Structure 1
Amino acid sequence: MLLTVSTTHAPATDLGYLLHKHPDRVQAFGQSFGTVTVFYPEATPERCTAALLLEIDPVRLARGRGRGTSDVSLSQYVNDRPYAASSLLAVAMGDVLSTARAGRCRSHQDLADAAIPLEIEVPVLPCRGGPELAAALFAPLGWQVDAEPIPLDETFPEWGDSRYLHLRLRGELRLADALNQLYVLLPVLDESKHYWQGPSEVDKLLRSGEGWLTAHPEAELITRRYLGHHRELTQDALARLAEVEREASGVVVEENDDDADRAVARPLNRQRHDAVLAVLQELGVRSVIDLGCGQGQLLDRLLRSGSFDRLAGSDVSVRALQVAAKRLRLEEMSERQAERIALFQGSLTYEDDRYAGYEAAVLMEVIEHVDPARLGALEQVVFQAARPRVVVVTTPNREYNARYADPTASRHPDHRFEWTRSELAQWCAGVAERHGYTVELRGIGEVDEQLGAPTQLAVFVATEGAQAAGAGGPAGATQGGSDD
């Protein structure tokens, strides 16, 4: 399969910086199912085109499938075994263009963050649904879609069209957004994948669909097809998308080229990540532990920011930590990179030496999951035993629930309580006084004049005496376990 990405943004050869592939080089990348070659058919200041060519090796694909299975018979090599080319292209693109998909470009970050004119072409693309489906999936994302059916045989027009399209997309988008949309939608059009799908596929979908999938009019169809119509995976993904959509109450205004303002909803969970990262950077901390890290979304954001020398995550759920490890790609890290981050199981209501030794601790949407009778134990563990210089807490504002469809319901069925602004302020003041901290309360998300912001943010900073007592714990403290 062949995919090309072109731009006329001047100088157009800056596309090489965004893709992290030099226009003057031809680069080949081996995959378990073939070879991916990246090259530039044209590279001028006016127009630049990068091509990604996937050559599938059926023998290598068969051998790879045989590992760990009982089917190693000769039939794998002599039978015509179908495979999902779009799925293979998406996996190859995810591997070869991973940094571009993340939107990172150290030398041209402003360009990576900007919408630029793009033209994407796939000469032969399997599509179960025809041109209408391609338009329904890409047009709502801002693309001008040209999907031309390919005849089964041009010499026999009466045979009709094949299920393949010649797809051209034109629009102005961030390159990272365009690549993530392709990563999801190429296998969705094909409605087939070449590998077994498990729970990690839901995380891939939500990660690649961040910022566009929840608002897409065909979000359910995309989810169902991407996950191979697996009922449990689809239900899980749709439930998580619904939660994100419900929390998407913050609005950011951006300018477009038509001199009109466009309101873009930014999910509240992303605003929380932004706010926590901003606080940590503002206070100049270099080591952070995420207490109740869940599946590692915040850790992933902190790791990608490059602002921290040492990170750790702790959660009571082993399954969540396994997902976090995959999200962070711990097994793919070099030894030096892996030394910067640690994951371990632990409960916030029991003291653990591994919690100590970090400048900052984050409890993001965690405290409301603790039984009120155990809040004293959590306070002792975090503010007395671990005693970081900075503690950042976020929690729902119960008053804001009046804006939701069912104002009497908790935002999550596992919430043991949800505090009003005055209740959080009272708890924070008591903790700060008992343990030698100052505390500042802020809001995250769209502010209602009467109800406040949907999320409450508390920033605790140790006074000089408390800082000397706790924040300077030895780095090695994170490696030892508790004797309990």
Structure 2
Amino acid sequence: MLATITYTGPDATDLGFLLHKHPSKVQTFPMSVGQAHVFYPEATDERCTAALLLEVDPIDLVRNKRFGGTDSFSLSNYVNDRPYASSSMLAVALGQLFRTAMTGRSDARPELAASAIPLEIELTAVPSRGIGGLATRLFEPLGWAVDETAIPLDPAFPEWGDSRYANLRLTATIRLSDALRQLYVLLSVLDDSKHYWVSDDEVGKLLRAGEGWLPEHPDRELITQRYLAHQRTMIADATARLVELDDDSVPAEPDAQTSTPLYNLRAEAVLAALKDVGAHRVADLGCGEGALLKRLAADPSFVEIIGTDVSSRSLNIAEERLQLRQLSDAQRARIKLLQSSVTYQDDRIKALDAAVLMEVIEHVDPDRLGSVESSVFGHARPGAVIVTTPNADYNVLYPSLPAGRFRHPDHRFEWSRAEFAEWAQGVADRNGYQVEFRPVGEFDPAVGSPTQLALFRRV
């Protein structure tokens, strides 16, 4: 299996500094499934190509219990595509041989490593199991121009049609570290048949390699399922953690002093507000995959916890994340997951101590906000309501966020502090509540904090 990376630009041989592999050498590295070779078939000042050739020994692959399974005498273990298709084995080789390049570190050329550069990547015999044109579907949303050429089953018999393999040519102006991390994940996704045991640390690998691009990818669910080999518990964990990153996918401002992720600060602020109002019976409205529910469940002072969401899939993931089936009857009785919408009046959430709408209202169409007010503040009437939402004033501190663009593609709006205050005060006045506002996250004197919180107390 062969992968090539081509850089066209001034002093193109600087690609060697980024990959930490010298252009004038052929280097061979032992792998668990064979040998990997790195060499440069082309190295000029205008154009430089690095090639990774992975030679898999099919006999060693079968005899290795880690990869071949227990039935080493089965013919299917020997007759397969593993030595030839650009699969998860190539992804592992990329991760091992270009590990430092994937982190974006280059002591010799730090500015080049941090810059988007013109790259062309070619991959041979890439599997695309089950979905035609999958490579285009995966790479195009990341800014790649994709030339996906299907390989015929037999060129001599065109009537047989195409195989499930394709040759890929990807071109983009992108940081090399980002390109390598995307390849590392998506090669395994295209393969959908990992050659190694999927261990518990795979979720962490996925989140690290997917940082900055996976949370917003339109096929995030498919990527997560295939990368984690369809392991339900791991998928639930990864999905929940990706959802936590959803509204924090915009890179932090350069001078931010805090190292705590915004989603953690937001959850901590909500929990602090719940403690301030003395809440013990709480509903998380629009709970998603259960990020806040898990924190609530860990605190025994919350004796009744209700999570609602319109998505049954999200509720199933929340159930997995909370491990409800493994809890005792008494612990499980504290927690209820209900399919419902914040725009519907639901008697099951009436008269609680508090209700939370954490990063929910910005996902509601503005003309439906009246229904949210009616169902939560008018019908359910909890003792307190906690609402968090992005502060649009703060968006100017995100250098990668174009003017007029929201932080997340599913946001229907993002309010300034004045707009949020006007809405919240109107809701409080119309429904018999008092409201106070709290900043969440790094505070800037000019534009405030990235998240704004309103705490409503029923009068």
Q: Which amino acid aligns with 2:451?
A: P
Deviations 1:187-209 (A, max 9, x none): 11121101121331111111100
Partner of 1:419: none
- Which of 257, 275, 281 is equivalent to 2:257? 275
Partner of 2:12: 12
Q: 1:275, 1:444 within 8 Å by CA — same for their partners in 2?
A: no
- CA distance 1:2–1:455, change in 2 (3 Å): farther
Query: Does the alignment pair 1:54 with 2:32?
Result: no
Query: Does the alignment pair 1:109 with 2:110?
Result: yes
State TM-score, norm by structure 1: 0.54
1:160-175 equivalences under 5 Å are: 160-175=161-176
Which stretches in structure 1 are left out of the alignment for 5+ residues?
Answer: 249-264, 279-365, 373-397, 412-441, 457-484
Query: Does the alignment pair 1:222 with 2:223?
Result: yes
Q: 2:144, 2:170 within 8 Å by CA — same for their partners in 1?
A: yes
Q: Secondary structure at the match of 1:80?
A: coil
Deviations 1:451-480 (A, max 9, x none): 634399xxxxxxxxxxxxxxxxxxxxxxxx
Partner of 2:192: 191
- Which of 377, 382, 386 is equivalent to 1:408? 386
Q: 2:153, 2:163 within 8 Å by CA — same for their partners in 1?
A: yes
Q: Secondary structure at the match of 2:215?
A: coil
Partner of 1:34: 34
Residues matched between the structures, number:
296
Q: Secondary structure at the match of 1:275?
A: coil
- CA distance 1:73–1:453, change in 2 (3 Å): closer
Deviations 1:386-411 (A, max 9, x none): xxxxxxxxxxxx99979766972799
Deviations 1:255-309 (A, max 9, x none): xxxxxxxxxx22x6xx79963469xxxxxxxxxxxxxxxxxxxxxxxxxxxxxxx
Per the TM alignment, residue 31 of structure 1 is displaced from its structure 2 partner at its CA by: 0.6
1:86-125 equivalences under 5 Å are: 86-125=87-126
Per the TM alignment, residue 62 of structure 1 is displaced from its structure 2 partner at its CA by: 2.4
Q: Which amino acid aligns with 1:21?
A: K
- CA distance 1:272–1:198, change in 2 (3 Å): farther
CA distance in 1, matches of 2:237, 2:192: 19
Q: Secondary structure at the match of 1:111?
A: helix
Which has the larger displacement, 166-175 or 230-239? 230-239
Q: 1:183, 1:208 within 8 Å by CA — same for their partners in 2?
A: yes
- CA distance 1:32–1:15, change in 2 (3 Å): same
Query: Does the alignment pair 1:156 with 2:157?
Result: yes
- CA distance 1:48–1:70, change in 2 (3 Å): closer
1:451-462 equivalences under 5 Å are: 452-454=449-451
- CA distance 1:203–1:274, change in 2 (3 Å): farther
Deviations 1:361-391 (A, max 9, x none): xxxxx9xx9999xxxxxxxxxxxxxxxxxxx
Query: Does the alignment pair 1:63 with 2:63?
Result: yes
Per the TM alignment, residue 235 of structure 1 is displaced from its structure 2 partner at its CA by: 1.5
Query: Does the alignment pair 1:80 with 2:79?
Result: yes
Per the TM alignment, residue 11 of structure 1 is displaced from its structure 2 partner at its CA by: 0.8
Residue identity over aligned pairs, in percent, reads 48
1:259-338 equivalences under 5 Å are: 265-266=250-251, 275-276=257-258
Q: 1:59, 1:77 within 8 Å by CA — same for their partners in 2?
A: no
Partner of 1:133: 134
CA distance in 1, matches of 2:140, 2:444: 32
- CA distance 1:160–1:62, change in 2 (3 Å): same
Deviations 1:317-337 (A, max 9, x none): xxxxxxxxxxxxxxxxxxxxx
Per the TM alignment, residue 119 of structure 1 is displaced from its structure 2 partner at its CA by: 0.1
Q: Secondary structure at the match of 1:408?
A: strand
